[in-house]
Amino acid sequence: MSSQRSSVTVLGLGLMGSTLARTFLAAGHDVTVWNRTPGRDGALAAAGARSATSAPEAVTTSPLVVVCLLDRAAVHAVLDTLDGGALTGRTVADLTTGTPDESRAVAERVTALGARYLDGKILATPSLVGTAAATLLLSGPEDLVAEHGDVLGAIGTVTSTGDDPGLAALHDLAMLTVMWSVLGGYYHAAELLRSAGVPAADVATTTMQLLPAVAGMLPGEATAIDTASYATDESTIEVNAAGLHHLTRATRELGLRDDIPAALRALADEQLAAGNGGLALASVVDLIRKG
Ligand SMILES: NC(=O)c1ccc[n+]([C@@H]2O[C@H](COP(=O)([O-])OP(=O)(O)OC[C@H]3O[C@@H](n4cnc5c(N)ncnc54)[C@H](OP(=O)(O)O)[C@@H]3O)[C@@H](O)[C@H]2O)c1
């Protein structure tokens, strides 16, 4: 959490942007806010934020400009209004979700506008921002992360992902893959068991009991991937493919869609067809890597 009072501008007061502004205010900073559609700043202004009527006006008050908009098209639309030197000498931290290449393009554009650039990705929902459960991935020059890490640290634990402005986005997307895969698996499980009258709450309880065991499997999976050694005396592609077929067949017999387990089944089947049925399931990374 930050210790020194600073000035920070927040562009974008959606669910996340307004949470960020509230968080900076709570950390004791001077906060200026702007949103494309007027009227979303009422509660923030009441809490002490300064409301700006335009993005160029908003950025003039702070050395640090935090951007949190729907997508990168929105970011470029706002940058279009900031090409008159308003950003010169400032730091822009764009926390908008997107792809690594989009982050690199925003970095180039912001640099051309005379500002320095940090790309940030928030690993948290608004209710978790400012708690120990929130992480802020930051990519950009080390000195800039050091300069603004204190203020931005009000959002969550700052983790630096290196100089390349695309890396925070890559780390973010990687962790979102894990999150969506777990949630997708849970949704599928919930629908399977709903057919037997089991409430989703009970499935959540059983899933939470299972997840630590799955987490415990990860170091072994990591070693297999890092060393490309897929010999196994635990569980082969053949066994996993058979299991995935049981799962998708049972799913269809219940009249449900099998899209979620079918994606992994397809990879396991491809390994089987290539004569790799005796390898560990982690060997599917070779197929992912091929593209
Ligand atoms: N919510 C989450 O749980 C969460 C978690 C992590 C990361 N994020 C990321 O945070 C970013 C913002 O998410 P959010 O939940 O705050 O979304 P949101 O509530 O939908 O807010 C979107 C914001 O973008 C602005 N906007 C959209 N198009 C614009 C344009 N062309 N020009 C200027 N402003 C524009 C909206 O302004 P108007 O009010 O004028 O429409 C609004 O301020 C996204 O990239 C999201 O992926 C969100």
Q: SS3 string of 19-83?
A: HHHHHHHHCCCEEEEECCCCCCCHHHHHCCCEECCCHHHHHCCCCEEEECCCCHHHHHHHHHCCC
Alpha carbon of 67 to ligand 1 centroid (Å): 10
How does the average pLDDT of the chain come out, rounded? 96
Atom of ligand 1 at shortest distance to CA of 18? 16
Alpha carbon of 75 to ligand 1 centroid (Å): 10
**16 ligand 1 Cβ < 6 A:** yes
**126 ligand 1 Cβ < 6 A:** yes
Alpha carbon of 130 to ligand 1 centroid (Å): 18
Q: What's the pLDDT at 83?
A: 87
Alpha carbon of 15 to ligand 1 centroid (Å): 7
- Determine how many CB atoms are found less than 10 A away from the CB of residue 287: 15
Helix, strand, coil percent content, the chain, rounded in steps of 5? 55, 15, 30
pLDDT < 70 positions in the chain: 1-3
Residue 233 per-residue DSSP state: S
DSSP three-state, residue 186: helix
Q: What's the pLDDT at 1?
A: 44
Q: What is the pLDDT of residues 199-239, one digit of tens each?
A: 999 999 999 999 999 999 999 999 999 999 999 999 999 99
Q: What's the pLDDT at 31?
A: 98
Atom of ligand 1 at shortest distance to CA of 19? 16
The best mutation among 69, 72, 183 to test binding of ligand 1, ranked by most ligand atoms within 8 Å of the C-beta, falls on 69
Q: Do 11 and 55 touch, CB atoms closer than 8 A?
A: yes
The best mutation among 59, 70, 96, 135 to test binding of ligand 1, ranked by most ligand atoms within 8 Å of the C-beta, falls on 70
At how many degrees (to 10) do helices 167-194 and 200-227 cross? 140
Alpha carbon of 76 to ligand 1 centroid (Å): 13
Closest CA to 125 of 19, 24, 243: 19
Cβ contacts of 87 within 8 Å, gap of 6 or more: 59, 65, 110, 113, 114, 115
Closest CA to 189 of 133, 276, 250: 250
Q: Do 108 and 81 touch, CB atoms closer than 8 A?
A: no
Tokens 């499935």 sit at which residue? 203
Tokens 């890597």 sit at which residue? 289
Alpha carbon of 2 to ligand 1 centroid (Å): 25
Number of Cα atoms under 13 Å in the Cβ half of residue 207 = 16
Rounded to 5°, angle at Cα 24 from 22 and 28: 110
Cα separation of 217 and 214, whole Å? Answer: 5
